[in-house]
Structure 1
Amino acid sequence: MHAAPPRATRIQVAWAYVEHDGVPLRDRLARHDLAAVFGYLKSIGMSWAKIGAAVDLTASRVSEIAHRKRIATEYRVLERIATGLGIPRHLMGLSHAEAHGPEIAPPTTRAAPVDTHELLAAVAGIAVGAIPAAVHRLLPTMPRTSAPAVVTAAEVDTVEVITTVHRRRDAVAGGGACLASARAYAAWATRLLDADGLTETLGLRLHTALADLHNLVGWLAHDLDDHHTARRHLTQSLVYARTAGALPLLANGYYRLGRVSLHQGRAQEALHLFGLGQLVAQQSGCHPSVAILHTNTAWAYALLGQETQVSDHLVRARDELAQADPRSAPTWTQFALDPADLHGISAVIHTELARHPHHHHHADTALEHAHHAVALRQPHDQRSRIFDQISLAAASILTGDLAAGGRHATTAVDLAENGMTSARVTDRLDALWALVSPHHDEPEIAAFGQRINAPR
């Protein structure tokens, strides 16, 4: 049996200069568009089998990726593809190390607990323009990895694309599908701050890109109920955003920190964080950011059963959205401009309010919003589709339609079992069962109970 030739000699492509379908392949590589990469290789005469042999994937999987039936985001898989195809690693935003050993792999353990009192004091200082020296105790410990000796606009472009790719993956499959990969990229991207060539303008761009990436890593950790890791990365995002003067992104960090508290039932803590975010958002003049914080403030007040404050903040949110220009809205605020999302979060808010004895009449409003959200939600936003079905089930139960509530609850489970790895989804399904379980004699609810209580 003869030895296979080294992979580097199998494929000779000038990746930084060739085009496919009129688009430079380096742009496709930065976006991890492997369908275009494999399609290009196919167009120059390579079979799926030969490509697969080079990158250690089956021919069928290469074909599925090429035809956009599957995507590859896991860091080690992307490393293997870069090595097998002879792609310069920086074109894909990968570390320049030949392989990732344990010393630079993303941590598999959860972060040490965060003292929330210390956290609130520190982030309050950041909101008014000061970065406390002691904030370092609240930041994530990043594994050491190698990075380019010189940073250029291309590396910053790559950080931005990496964030976009992982954000889309999270919406489709949850934090469990991409947290490890995103943390590995964050370790690499953070090292760019130590590289040469960082001008003032490029430095501001890099700090903004890092703030967005750490913001996303924090959100992915939150989606897996790893709240200490979430708070550390979100606080890191605040530090970078403040350094860059990126006020809308800074406001977004406070919104997400507040959501972590909200998920844990700490409504007053969430209100404090949303208030800090609102201070920054108002300064930024970013209408979508202001609207997001008003909407989530309404959610916190709904948990507390304070109807007047809920209505007030929802009205303010709608007024801000009416003034927003989708063309100039930052990427991380775009979701708030989607009518499906506005109906979806409104359904959640009114459902929470309806669970308080004196505000049961909000159940009808929740049901109306939930129906609109389900009708408008796009298929690629899988996790939000599940949340919409959960809201529809809860609102149906609260309005007395037990059979419909059971059916929508089961639909939510069906969607959740279709590749979704999100602890938040599991938590909300459990909370839904707690609401509907008193009606377990209803056949549709009994069916939901059997599904939700099966081993998961």
Structure 2
Amino acid sequence: MPESRRTKELPASLLTDPEMIDACLIRDFARVFRLVKVRAGIFPSMIARQCELTPSRVGEVIAGRRQLLHMDVIERIADGLRIPGHMLGLARREWETPVALAVAGREPPDLVQPSAGLRALAALPGVEVDGILALAAGTKPSPSTLRALRSSIEDYWRRDDEHGGETLRPAVVGQLRYVEGLLTGQRPTPIQNGLYGIAAELARLTAWTYFDGRQYQQARAYFSEALQLAREIDDHPFMANVLACMSLQATYQDKPADALALVSAAQDKARAASRATPRVRAMLAMREAFAHAILGDRKATHTAISEAHSQFEHICEGDPDPPWVTYFDEPKLIVDTGIAHGRLGEVAIAEPMIADALAREDPANQRGRAFHAFWLAQTQLQRGKLDQACHTAIEALVPAAAVSSERVTGHLREFYEQLAPYREAPAAVAFEARLRATLSPQGQRTPSSIRT
């Protein structure tokens, strides 16, 4: 093999290690390759190039999905990694004899014609990639690493509110898998726990993007993954948060019993945690109110609403609220209270509360503004305020058009269907005209094609 394609020699400590000797003896190349990577710093791409294999083939071997049995392949591995022949049951290899003692020297490298196999290796990763991989593997997560990752999560949530999460999902999943890869190493406990917390939040964010897209099965899978990651560090408040998210999803799936069971489990987790703040407890109580409202249990709904407001009154400026609950501010408490009353049919109570909260909502939260505007329009319509309802719905089209969210589309369709008895009224005609202009400037789509 040309000198320019040779990796560094395996350390003597590895070649004499009983585990390496045993792996070579039985030709367990998955174990051999893992030991070579960990103990000698020779990465799979380097193994592939030196042994004239493809990176995918090496990856399959390491993953246990493929075995290497052909003698010519085993010889290439021995020569490429400089594993003495006897360790693999082979004859002594030519390179094992020092050059100075060889009977006949090799041809100069510039006279050797590359074989077809070597020419095919030109497409494999080069030395520069190996160096980058080595650098990445040597990176040790630090407190600044955790701060950077948390900052990116905050940015993801902000962009999710403004534009929807569908286009963010590939980046979020990629970062989730990256952080999970870091968890395989041995780290100081604060760093390791921080990585678990970040991975759990990334899994929850991924689940949320699927939930917002009404892809409920995928959402549930990622919510479950978030629960498992949080359980590793006994983060009971975060587990409560994930269960509360799953409860909210159950309300959208018209599964109120499931919603109530999930939020009850969330509250159990919060009670078991000494660091569950009043804001966390208030948010959970409001999710419980949603579940009771869908079940039509008026008394239980009002009790849960009272508990939410009572807990919210105990919030202090210095409370150690986790970042994931800071969204639950006073406007959010008020609008959720209005929605809970609206679900019970108490629209006279619901309308002013939703209107007040909507007036104070952050303009950047496009999805939230669209949700709550359509809720307000529905309550106004139920109160017989047709003109006002249509005006509110027209204003809701602006943030609705700015965000990609199947849940927003669902609320829009609900209002459109409730408007059916009033189709000929001037206010309804105006709303439909604006709806057509918003969804289909060229008139190619009609309101009936809105996806649910």
| 1:283 alignment counterpart | 272
| 1:55 alignment counterpart | none
The TM-score, its normalising length taken from structure 2, stands at 0.64
Q: How much has 1:402 moved relative to structure 2?
A: 0.6
| 2:425 alignment counterpart | 442
Q: How much has 1:227 moved relative to structure 2?
A: 1.1
Q: Aligned equivalents of 1:335 and 1:150: distance in 2?
A: 34
Instruction: Give the structure with higher Rg (CA).
Output: 2
Q: Provide the secondary structure at the position in 2 that maps to 1:325.
A: coil
Q: Aligned equivalents of 1:353 and 1:324: distance in 2?
A: 28
Q: Where does 1:334-413 land on structure 2 (aligned, <5 Å)?
A: 334-336=326-328, 338-354=329-345, 362-413=346-397
The TM-score, its normalising length taken from structure 1, stands at 0.63
Alpha-carbon contact 1:397-1:405 (below 8 Å) kept: yes
Q: Aligned equivalents of 2:400 and 2:343: distance in 1?
A: 22
| 1:301 alignment counterpart | 292
| 2:207 alignment counterpart | 218
Q: How much has 1:273 moved relative to structure 2?
A: 0.4
Does residue 421 in structure 1 map to residue 404 in structure 2? yes
Q: Residue 227 of structure 1: which of 195, 211, 216 is its match?
A: 216
Matched residue type, 2:300: Q
| 2:145 alignment counterpart | 155
Q: Aligned equivalents of 1:446 and 1:220: distance in 2?
A: 34
Alpha-carbon contact 1:189-1:210 (below 8 Å) kept: yes
Matched residue type, 2:230: A
Q: Provide the secondary structure at the position in 2 that maps to 1:335.
A: coil
Q: Aligned equivalents of 1:350 and 1:294: distance in 2?
A: 14
Matched residue type, 1:426: T
CA 1:326 to 1:258, structure 2 compared with 1: closer, same or farther past 3 Å?
farther
Q: How much has 1:326 moved relative to structure 2?
A: 4.4
Alpha-carbon contact 1:298-1:310 (below 8 Å) kept: yes
Q: Provide the secondary structure at the position in 2 that maps to 1:271.
A: helix
| Structure 2: gaps (5+ residues) | 1-44, 46-55, 57-132, 437-445
Does residue 332 in structure 1 map to residue 315 in structure 2? no
Matched residue type, 1:330: P
Q: Residue 182 of structure 2: which of 192, 203, 208 is its match?
A: 192
Q: Deviations over 1:45-94 (max 9, x none)?
A: xxxxxxxxxxxxxxxxxxxxxxxxxxxxxxxxxxxxxxxxxxxxxxxxxx
Matched residue type, 1:392: L
Q: Aligned equivalents of 1:222 and 1:149: distance in 2?
A: 37
Matched residue type, 2:309: R
| 1:171 alignment counterpart | 161
Q: Provide the secondary structure at the position in 1 that maps to 2:375.
A: helix
| 2:197 alignment counterpart | 208
Does residue 430 in structure 1 map to residue 413 in structure 2? yes
Q: How much has 1:149 moved relative to structure 2?
A: 4.1
User: Bigger relative contact order, structure 1 or 2, given CA contacts below 8 A and separation 6+?
Assistant: 1
Q: Aligned equivalents of 1:380 and 1:177: distance in 2?
A: 18
Matched residue type, 2:173: R
| 2:230 alignment counterpart | 241
Q: Aligned equivalents of 2:416 and 2:209: distance in 1?
A: 25
Q: Aligned equivalents of 1:289 and 1:148: distance in 2?
A: 38
Does residue 318 in structure 1 map to residue 332 in structure 2? no
Q: How much has 1:158 moved relative to structure 2?
A: 2.7
Matched residue type, 1:157: R
Q: Deviations over 1:157-216 (max 9, x none)?
A: 2321221110111011112231222112112121111235x1222111111111111111
Q: Provide the secondary structure at the position in 2 that maps to 1:176.
A: coil
Q: Aligned equivalents of 1:382 and 1:148: distance in 2?
A: 40
Q: Deviations over 1:274-319 (max 9, x none)?
A: 0000101122232222211110111111112211111000000011
| Structure 1: gaps (5+ residues) | 1-96, 98-102, 104-145, 355-361
Q: Aligned equivalents of 1:445 and 1:282: distance in 2?
A: 49
Q: Residue 181 of structure 1: which of 171, 185, 209 is its match?
A: 171
Q: Deviations over 1:305-363 (max 9, x none)?
A: 21111100000001111112344211111111x22111221222121111xxxxxxx11
State the identity %. Answer: 22
Q: Provide the secondary structure at the position in 2 that maps to 1:152.
A: coil
| Count of residue pairs the alignment pairs up | 303
Q: How much has 1:414 moved relative to structure 2?
A: 2.3
Q: How much has 1:248 moved relative to structure 2?
A: 1.4
Matched residue type, 1:380: A
